[in-house]
């Protein structure tokens, strides 16, 4: 399994660029059309300066009559207006299509990232703060959206535009243009340095943004604990430190860009002054014609020289944003490159039906290498049986449940589901037959009905109400003015622990699983709700195979088999009455709970 804790492997620009371009392939026809329109737009954009130069020469001409000048001006003015109309229409359509392509790419990328995160195992997801993953799906994809819809296209445009200007400059006067070209190696070298340092600064910015988001996500969720233990000052201090690190990384980024752009501006001013120095002298001393400039041609040349440095300055900004996008892409691709630790084998099969037979054969498992949580565990669960696991915290009870739903793969031994090795069953097929009821019930924002149905429109209201009544949830519904349409707050905070558990029971019964799993589902509930839940459990035991992990032994007395665990091993097993007669560990646990209840 790839360590998902620090997914910041540096990737070469070539690799990142290649992968970013691959997202354009489904839209290549329209993208090529946009590039063609861009080329036409650039050609149109190059003409006005030449028209203005010719107009100046026409106006100051000593050989043309006033009528001839007016005719020229009309034609030139009409041509100029026509060019502007054409340019506007091309720019409008080009921008619209480019935005459309960019948004479709980002939609596809967000979906790909989210879909890939869903394939990762619990062990991998537990290594990464939720805030960092949220940053990948939202902030980082937004940065790439700007790249696809603005930066990349404008960078290509400026390269083509710069090439066009160089061609025009050589056509007008190749002598001065050769002098001007001496600036290019300096500009190129400065750009290489800028790319190197800006990439490092942007990478640091993205890491610090993730740190701040992760801190906020965790601490906003745990605000009650922070306030309960008066930890506000400490949390403020930590948040300030993380925010300050982010500020410093932003300042480094600004410093890099703040050095590069003024340097490019300095080169542009030197180039303009050079043209003015050489060209004006040529116009004034017309009998010399060192560089063959007329006044209008000098203006056109000056305009092109000014425009020559403008795309270079714009490319500085675009390189700046491109490095930001590459840093975000690097983070996103690291997530996508993380292989799920639990994958379906090539010959894995669908489990068309599940009778409920589960066999553990000498199973050894560890979360950390050589730190065994389960040590040679063997047991059998027969169809329609109710089997309970009890034992101290850390004895391996919940681990067994995680292995049955294949959140993890075992290192030694074998797990059989209806006689088939669990690794030979497709994970999604296996889970479709299992209903899980956990201690920490997660409720989504929405209505109570949506949470019971899990937003599945194929489930009818009649089946939902029947499932709710079956587990005793109707006692809760009676006290809600809007019934099943009652709004659920974030994480179900407007329901008690017991009520949330009943909702999870109703959710499970609605989906009619062949195997029901309860992991500490009766912990931390009040006595009144416990009686309802106990009644619901007894009913559900008659539906299908059930596996229960519970601290409250009162909830498992009717189980067909109780397995007692300690330090990753099975110590004893049997029915409630058999285990009491043996007076072993189960008997001691029962006595302790019985005495505690008497004292209450």
| pLDDT tens sequence across 351-382 | 888 888 999 999 999 988 889 999 999 999 99
Model pLDDT, residue 530: 66
For the chain, the domains span 16-336, 358-599
Contacts of residue 39, defined as CB under 8 A and 6 or more positions apart, other chains included, come to 160
pLDDT over threshold 50, residue 261:
yes
Between the CA of residue 306 and those of 165, 276, 436, what are the distances in Å? 10, 11, 69
Question: What rounded mean pLDDT belongs to the chain?
Answer: 82
List residues bridging with 359 in a β-sheet: 380, 416
Name the band, by pLDDT with cuts 50, 70 and 90, for residue 424: very high
pLDDT over threshold 60, residue 476:
yes
Q: Are the CB atoms for 344 and 426 separated by under 8 Å?
A: yes
More confident residue, 173 or 170: 170
User: Model confidence over 384-396: pLDDT tens digits?
Assistant: 899 999 988 889 9
HSE-up (13 A, CA, CB side) for residue 210 = 24
Contacts of residue 1, defined as CB under 8 A and 6 or more positions apart, other chains included, come to 121, 123, 124, 339, 341
Model pLDDT, residue 523: 60
Q: How buried is residue 234: exposed, middle or buried, by Cβ count under 10 Å (0-12/13-18/19+)?
A: exposed
Superfamily of domain 358-599: P-loop containing nucleotide triphosphate hydrolases (3.40.50.300)
Question: Do 358-599 and 16-336 fall under one CATH topology?
Answer: no
Name the band, by pLDDT with cuts 50, 70 and 90, for residue 563: very high
Other residues' Cβ atoms within 10 Å of the Cβ of residue 100: 14
Average pLDDT value for residue range 310-316: 75
Name the band, by pLDDT with cuts 50, 70 and 90, for residue 84: confident
Q: Which CATH number fits domain 16-336: 3.30.43.10, 2.40.50.100, 1.20.1560.10, 3.90.180.10?
A: 1.20.1560.10
User: Model confidence over 319-353: pLDDT tens digits?
Assistant: 777 877 888 888 899 889 888 888 888 888 998 88
More confident residue, 450 or 539: 450
Contacts of residue 132, defined as CB under 8 A and 6 or more positions apart, other chains included, come to 210, 213, 214
Point out the least confidently predicted range of 104-108, 319-323, 494-498, 585-589: 319-323
List residues bridging with 364 in a β-sheet: 412
Average pLDDT value for residue range 11-27: 85
> Is the pTM here over 0.95, yes or no?
no
Model pLDDT, residue 1: 41
Name the band, by pLDDT with cuts 50, 70 and 90, for residue 9: low
Instruction: State percent of the chain over pLDDT 90.
Output: 19
Point out the least confidently predicted range of 202-211, 428-437, 503-512: 202-211
Model pLDDT, residue 422: 94
User: Model confidence over 27-75: pLDDT tens digits?
Assistant: 888 888 888 888 888 888 787 777 777 777 777 766 767 777 677 777 7
Average pLDDT value for residue range 124-150: 82
**Beta-sheet strand order (sheet of 569-574):** 434-438, 515-519, 545-549, 386-391, 561-566, 569-574
User: Model confidence over 494-549: pLDDT tens digits?
Assistant: 888 888 888 888 888 888 888 999 887 666 566 666 677 777 777 777 778 999 99
Name the band, by pLDDT with cuts 50, 70 and 90, for residue 574: very high
Name the band, by pLDDT with cuts 50, 70 and 90, for residue 179: confident
User: Model confidence over 208-253: pLDDT tens digits?
Assistant: 888 888 888 778 877 877 877 788 888 889 999 999 999 988 888 8
HSE-up (13 A, CA, CB side) for residue 57 = 16
Model pLDDT, residue 6: 45
């Amino acid at each position: 399994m790839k360590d998902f804790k620090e997914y910041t492997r540096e990737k070469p620009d070539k690799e990142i660029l290649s992968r970013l371009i691959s997202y354009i392939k489904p839209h290549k026809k329209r993208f090529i059309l946009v590039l063609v329109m861009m080329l036409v737009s650039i050609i149109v954009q190059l003409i006005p300066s030449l028209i203005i130069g010719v107009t100046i020469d026409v106006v100051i001409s000593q050989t043309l009559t006033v009528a001839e000048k007016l005719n020229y001006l009309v034609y030139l003015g009409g041509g100029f207006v026509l060019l502007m109309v054409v340019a506007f229409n091309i720019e409008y359509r080009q921008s619209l299509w480019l935005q459309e392509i960019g948004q479709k790419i980002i939609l596809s990328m967000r979906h790909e990232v989210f879909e890939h995160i869903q394939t990762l195992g619990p062990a991998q997801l537990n290594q990464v703060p939720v805030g960092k993953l949220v940053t990948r799906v939202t902030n980082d994809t937004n940065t790439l959206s700007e790249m696809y819809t603005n930066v990349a296209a404008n960078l290509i445009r400026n390269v083509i535009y710069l090439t066009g200007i160089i061609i025009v400059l050589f056509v007008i006067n190749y002598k001065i243009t050769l002098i001007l070209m001496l600036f290019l190696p300096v500009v190129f070298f400065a750009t290489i340095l800028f790319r190197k340092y800006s990439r490092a600064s942007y990478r640091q910015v993205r890491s610090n943004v993730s740190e701040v988001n992760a801190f906020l996500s965790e601490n906003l969720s745990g605000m009650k604990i922070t306030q309960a233990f008066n930890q506000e000052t400490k949390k403020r201090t930590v948040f300030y430190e993380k925010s300050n690190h982010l500020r410093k990384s932003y300042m480094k980024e600004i410093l890099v860009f703040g050095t590069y752009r003024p340097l490019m501006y300095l080169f542009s001013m030197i180039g303009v002054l050079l043209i003015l120095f050489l060209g004006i002298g040529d116009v004034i001393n017309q009998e010399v014609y060192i560089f063959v400039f007329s006044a209008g041609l000098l203006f056109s040349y000056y305009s092109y020289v000014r425009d020559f440095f403008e795309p270079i300055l714009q490319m500085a900004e675009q390189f700046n944003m491109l490095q930001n996008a590459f840093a975000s892409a690097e983070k996103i691709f690291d997530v996508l490159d993380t292989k799920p630790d639990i994958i379906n084998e090539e010959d894995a099969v669908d489990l068309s039906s599940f009778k409920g037979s589960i066999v553990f054969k000498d199973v050894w498992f560890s979360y950390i290498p050589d730190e065994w949580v389960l040590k040679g565990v063997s047991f059998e669960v027969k169809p329609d049986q109710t089997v309970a696991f009890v034992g101290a915290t850390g004895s391996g009870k919940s681990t067994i449940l995680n292995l049955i739903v294949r959140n993890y793969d075992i290192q030694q031994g074998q797990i059989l589901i209806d006689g088939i090795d669990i690794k030979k069953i497709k994970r999604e097929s296996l889970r479709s037959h299992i209903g899980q009821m956990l201690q920490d019930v997660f409720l989504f924002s929405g209505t109570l009905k949506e949470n019971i149905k899990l937003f599945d429109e194929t489930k009818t209201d009649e089946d939902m109400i029947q499932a709710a009544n079956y587990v005793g949830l109707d006692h809760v519904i009676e006290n809600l003015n809007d019934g099943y349409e009652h709004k659920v707050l974030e994480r179900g905070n407007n329901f008690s622990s017991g009520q949330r558990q009943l909702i999870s029971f109703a959710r499970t019964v609605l989906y009619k699983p062949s195997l029901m799993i309860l992991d500490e589902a009766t912990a931390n509930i009040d006595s009144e709700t416990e009686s309802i839940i106990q009644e619901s459990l007894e009913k559900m035991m008659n539906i299908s195979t059930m596996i229960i992990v519970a601290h409250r032994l009162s909830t498992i007395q009717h189980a067909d088999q109780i397995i007692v665990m300690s330090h990753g091993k099975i110590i004893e097993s049997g029915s409630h009455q058999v285990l009491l007669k043996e007076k072993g560990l189960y008997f001691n646990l029962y006595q302790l709970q019985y005495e505690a209840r008497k004292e209450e």
